[in-house]
């Protein structure tokens, strides 16, 4: 693979896999959140600035049966042109076929072509080799800047890479940032390494916790999933969230952690509520002694202090999942306290990576985005990376 920033794109046609899977308004097809588009603009600008041209390919939505208007990438053309400072963006209403090839062929330096939705072809998700080869003919350099789909072995995200020589395939700037941040946490780890895992379900996070037991010094478990661990240890959790079929898993994880000398931290106290609602009556209770008729919806004040102390002495921090129902103001104190501790540790020199849907939303909502080292754009891809899986989109470039 080549290094993106060292590559001179003058005279090259760069075929970039981007993640433009943005939400669209159902009626007007206006883009309601353009974060994913903005994330890849620096990559596109560098290529255009060098004197190269750009062919962009992406999926959008979940089209079932071929082309459909609501999943057409044509809805993105105008906004993309604006994000690129008024650069004209051409559109091909098919991602392969004659029009796409002719337009790509005729592109001049500084020009941009956006291809129609890759998933209008079933071959994309199947990772079809012949389809990938057809796509590869559209450019002479392949750039993967779609971390969000790096865990999928699709035609445009992984299979296509084999049709480019080693020096003509590379990560884009977004992907480079994602991969190097994830590697810093998992492979260039400065100890102590604290993983903060929250959110609703133990079942979603078992694999990541198991893999982190090999790497972390401390694992903080908060959010709804903490109560399954509490019950597994004989605690009384009232009406708190619990996966009864995962009690044994929780016990096994705690035992493995003890065997490996990894310190697991569970919240000593909780903010409890008499119903799952923003206007519920609230109180505080030990997390292992919650009265019937009440449920734990956030970590308590004591737990905030307990967790913050661990975080502040860490050199590497990974944070996935909120500490409570942070969408409701009464239950966001814990998640805010953890965000503050992560920001303080970062200011003191720790490397902190926040990733996975809801923790990213929380960090953004509380205004901490610039106070942590890196906020990942990849939900599923990031989780799979920390579960220890090989991501096909990364492996295909590195081969």
| Closest residue to ligand AMP, based on beta-carbon distance | 199
Residue 108 catalytic? no
Piece in contact with ligand AMP (CB under 6 A), picked from 79-87, 91-99, 250-258, 322-330? 322-330
Gap between the Cα atoms of 98 and 265, Å rounded? 59
Of 46 and 231, which has the nearer Cβ to ligand AMP?
231
- φ, ψ for residue 334 (rounded to 5)? -65, -45
Tell me the two tokens of residue 185: 């946490």
Position among 63, 139, 199, 300 found at the interface with ligand AMP (CB under 6 A):
199
Residue 246 catalytic? no
Position among 63, 321, 378, 393 found at the interface with ligand AMP (CB under 6 A):
321
Is residue 220 at the binding interface for ligand AMP, with CB under 6 A as the rule? no
- Minimum distance from residue 21 beta carbon to ligand AMP (Å): 18
Position among 201, 236, 312, 313 found at the interface with ligand AMP (CB under 6 A):
201
Question: If you write DSSP's letter for every residue of 299-355 in order, what string do you get?
Answer: E-HHHHHHHHHHHHT-SEEEEES-SS-TTSGGG-HHHHHHHHHHHHHHHTT-EEEE-
- Minimum distance from residue 23 beta carbon to ligand AMP (Å): 17
Question: If you write DSSP's letter for every residue of 25-90 in order, what string do you get?
Answer: -TTT--BS--HHHHHTHHHHHHHHHHT-EEEEE---S--SSS--GGG-GGGGHHHHHHHTTT--EE
Is residue 324 at the binding interface for ligand AMP, with CB under 6 A as the rule? yes
Is residue 302 at the binding interface for ligand AMP, with CB under 6 A as the rule? no
- Within 10 angstroms of residue 293's Cβ, the number of other Cβ atoms is 10
233 neighbors 255 (Cβ within 8 angstroms): no
- Minimum distance from residue 229 beta carbon to ligand AMP (Å): 12
Is residue 310 at the binding interface for ligand AMP, with CB under 6 A as the rule? no
- Minimum distance from residue 287 beta carbon to ligand AMP (Å): 10
Which residues, in sequence order, are CB contacts of 394 under 8 Å at separation 6+?
150, 171, 179
Of 53 and 376, which has the nearer Cβ to ligand AMP?
376
208 Rama class: left (phi>0) / alpha (psi -120 to 50) / beta: alpha
Is residue 125 at the binding interface for ligand AMP, with CB under 6 A as the rule? no
Q: Which of 61, 177, 235, 357 is catalytic?
A: 357
E strand spans, 101-217: 112-115, 141-144, 169-171, 193-197
Residue 201 catalytic? yes
Tell me the two tokens of residue 333: 């104190």
Position among 41, 200, 206, 280 found at the interface with ligand AMP (CB under 6 A):
200
Piece in contact with ligand AMP (CB under 6 A), picked from 33-41, 92-100, 127-135, 196-204? 196-204
Radius of gyration (C-alpha) of the chain in whole angstroms:
23
Of 33 and 183, which has the nearer Cβ to ligand AMP?
33
Position among 148, 267, 296, 300 found at the interface with ligand AMP (CB under 6 A):
296
Gap between the Cα atoms of 282 and 279, Å rounded? 9
DSSP tag of 293:
T
With 0-12 / 13-18 / 19 or more C-beta atoms within 10 angstroms meaning exposed / middle / buried, residue 187 is exposed
Q: Which of 201, 256, 312, 315 is catalytic?
A: 201
Position among 204, 252, 344, 387 found at the interface with ligand AMP (CB under 6 A):
204
Q: Which residues are catalytic?
A: 36, 201, 357, 380
Positions in the binding site for ligand AMP (CB under 6 A): 199-201, 204, 223-224, 241, 296-297, 321-322, 324-325, 327, 357-358
């Amino acid at each position: 693979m080549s290094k993106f920033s060292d590559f001179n794109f003058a005279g090259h046609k760069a075929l970039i896999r981007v993640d433009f899977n943005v939400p669209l308004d159902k009626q007007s097809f206006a883009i309601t959140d353009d974060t994913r588009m903005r994330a890849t603009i620096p990559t596109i600008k560098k290529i255009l600035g060098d004197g190269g041209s750009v062919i962009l390919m992406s999926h959008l939505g979940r089209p079932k049966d071929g082309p459909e208007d609501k999943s057409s990438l044509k809805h993105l053309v105008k906004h993309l042109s604006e994000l690129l400072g008024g650069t004209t963006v051409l559109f091909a209403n098919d991602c392969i076929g004659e029009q796409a090839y002719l337009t790509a062929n005729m592109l001049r330096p500084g020009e941009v072509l956006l291809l129609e939705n890759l998933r209008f072809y079933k071959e994309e998700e199947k990772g079809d080799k012949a389809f990938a080869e057809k796509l590869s003919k559209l450019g002479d350099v392949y750039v993967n800047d779609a971390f969000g789909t790096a865990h999928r072995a699709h035609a445009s995200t992984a299979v296509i890479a084999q049709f480019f020589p080693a020096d003509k395939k590379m990560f884009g700037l977004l992907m480079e940032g994602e991969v190097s941040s994830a590697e810093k946490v998992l492979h260039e780890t400065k100890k102590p390494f604290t993983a903060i895992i929250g959110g609703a379900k133990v079942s979603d996070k078992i694999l990541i916790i198991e893999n982190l037991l090999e790497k972390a010094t401390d694992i903080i478990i908060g959010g709804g999933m903490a109560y399954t661990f509490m019950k597994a240890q004989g605690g009384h959790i009232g009406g708190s969230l619990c996966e009864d079929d995962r009690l044994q898993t929780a016990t096994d994880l705690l035992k493995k952690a003890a065997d490996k000398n990894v310190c697991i931290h569970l919240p000593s106290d909780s903010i409890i509520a008499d119903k799952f609602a923003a206007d519920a009556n609230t109180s505080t209770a030990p997390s292992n002694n919650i009265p019937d008729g009440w449920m734990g919806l956030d970590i308590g004040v004591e737990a905030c202090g307990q967790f913050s102390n661990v975080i502040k002495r860490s050199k590497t921090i990974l944070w996935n999942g909120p500490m409570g129902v942070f969408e409701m103001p009464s239950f966001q104190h814990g998640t805010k306290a953890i965000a503050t501790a992560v920001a303080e540790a970062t200011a003191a020199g720790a490397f902190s990576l926040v990733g996975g849907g809801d923790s990213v939303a929380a960090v953004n909502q509380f205004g901490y985005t610039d106070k942590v080292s890196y906020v990942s754009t990849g939900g599923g891809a990031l989780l799979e990376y920390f579960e220890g899986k090989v991501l096909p989109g990364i492996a295909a470039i590195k081969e």
